[in-house]
Chain A
Amino acid sequence: LAKTTQPISMDSYEGQEVNITCSHNNIATNDYITWYQQFPSQGPRFIIQGYKTKVTNEVASLFIPADRKSSTLSLPRVSLSDTAVYYCLVGPLGGYQKVTFGTGTKLQVIP
């Protein structure tokens, strides 16, 4: 699985948009990009997934440039409850593959 690199931590004020960028230079043609969110004392939760361009759901948006060597998770108007660790990972198509987590980005939302 392609290795990912993310900032270790980020701070943001409530109400701001937060963008977390992940680098995955060695992403393969058949890899998807997936983001998870983990609150303290809970298991990770799947947030969003994409292959290219832009994906949006009720929680976040995922921006993927044409070369797919990076991706950006965008959280609109964060609140204190968005304080969590966010993991970016890549994995192939073709049935389920084991999920390998990188270091993650610890987001602290400040009132």
Chain B
Amino acid sequence: SAVISQKPSRDICQRGTSLTIQCQVDSQVTMMFWYRQQPGQSLTLIATANQGSEATYESGFVIDKFPISRPNLTFSTLTVSNMSPEDSSIYLCSVPWGAPTEAFFGQGTRLTVV
């Protein structure tokens, strides 16, 4: 199994500012995924972060709004830029593991934008 640590666990931010979320994994992994979960909703994939290359973004998500870094095989960051109240969500990182579509998830970062 993999242990994933996310920081911060929660934050309250002013609109117009940016927040960087960190994801640390206790094992080396090739791919890491970032998800958003809006209140009462399911998870939506934001992007795939590969070490050594630019992140691949899903439809509706752009690099200027959600820049991602992947400096090594155990760490990634997601920045939520120029925040608005609509960005209030839980953000989760995830790593693949074992069987197809099996993945471990971090505890999430609960972001509130005021």
Contact = CB atoms under 8 A, between A and B. Distances in A.
Interface of A: 32, 34, 41-46, 49, 87, 89-104
B79 interface: no
Interface stretch (B13-21, B62-70, B80-88, B96-104): B96-104
Contacts of A87: 42-43
B103 A99 contact: yes
Given A43-B106, A43-B108, A96-B31, A104 B42 contact: yes
Contacts of B89: none
B48 interface: yes
Interface string B12-45: 0000000000000000000101010000001111
A43 B25 CA distance: 14
A49 B101 CA distance: 9
B101 A97 contact: yes
Interface of B: 4, 31, 33, 35, 42-45, 48, 92, 94, 96-97, 99-108, 110
| Majority DSSP secondary structure for residues of B touching A | strand
A97 to B, nearest CB: 6
A52 to B, nearest CB: 14
A97 B43 CA distance: 16
A86 B81 CA distance: 31
Nearest to A92: B100
A84 B19 CA distance: 29
B105 A32 contact: no
9 contacts: A41-B108, A43-B92, A43-B106, A43-B107, A44-B43, A91-B101, A97-B100, A98-B45, A101-B44
Given A43-B108, A96-B31, A103 B101 contact: no
Contact of B102 (A49, A90, A92, A103): A49
Given A44-B105, A49-B102, A103 B42 contact: yes
A5 to B, nearest CB: 13
A34 B103 CA distance: 10
